[in-house]
């Protein structure tokens, strides 16, 4: 594995674990579960803007993944889409770059 692919993989793992630590910590402290976490995303204009920023980035990444998968026929790269929406862009983007740089 090339150093660049290793970096992408490390960033994907970091992007899955690090944010999830804060989400789980918040849900445990507040005792509200996923619904309470999602409500907290819309507490003020700053967090609301961040949610929209990440949503638009996730949609753009999804369009890119689908377009490139269609051309390159790298079907495994489609795994980045559920990773993006279930975990986050911080995992989905580096995961896609990792999968994109493999030999097809």
The percentage of residues in the chain with a pLDDT greater than 90, rounded to a whole number, is 71
Q: What does DSSP assign to residue 1?
A: -
Q: Where are the alpha helices (DSSP H) in 1-104?
A: 3-30, 33-40, 45-72, 80-86, 89-100
What does the domain layout of the chain look like in residue ranges?
A: 3-100
- Per-residue pLDDT, averaged over 11-33, amounts to 92
Give the model's pLDDT for residue 30: 86
Residue 104: pLDDT over 70: no
Length of the chain: 104
Tens digits of residue pLDDT in 45-71: 998 899 999 999 999 999 999 999 999
**Is the predicted pLDDT of residue 88 greater than 90, yes or no?**
yes
């Amino acid at each position: 594995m090339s150093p660049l692919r290793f970096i992408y993989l490390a960033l994907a793992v970091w992007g899955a674990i690090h944010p999830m630590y804060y989400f789980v910590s918040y849900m445990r402290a507040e005792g509200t579960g996923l619904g309470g976490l999602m409500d907290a995303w819309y507490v003020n204009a700053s967090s609301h803007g961040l949610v929209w920023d990440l949503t638009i980035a996730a949609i753009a990444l999804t369009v890119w993944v689908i377009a490139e998968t269609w051309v390159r026929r790298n079907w495994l790269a489609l795994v980045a889409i559920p990773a993006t929406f279930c975990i986050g862009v911080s995992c989905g983007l580096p995961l896609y770059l990792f999968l994109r740089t493999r030999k097809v």
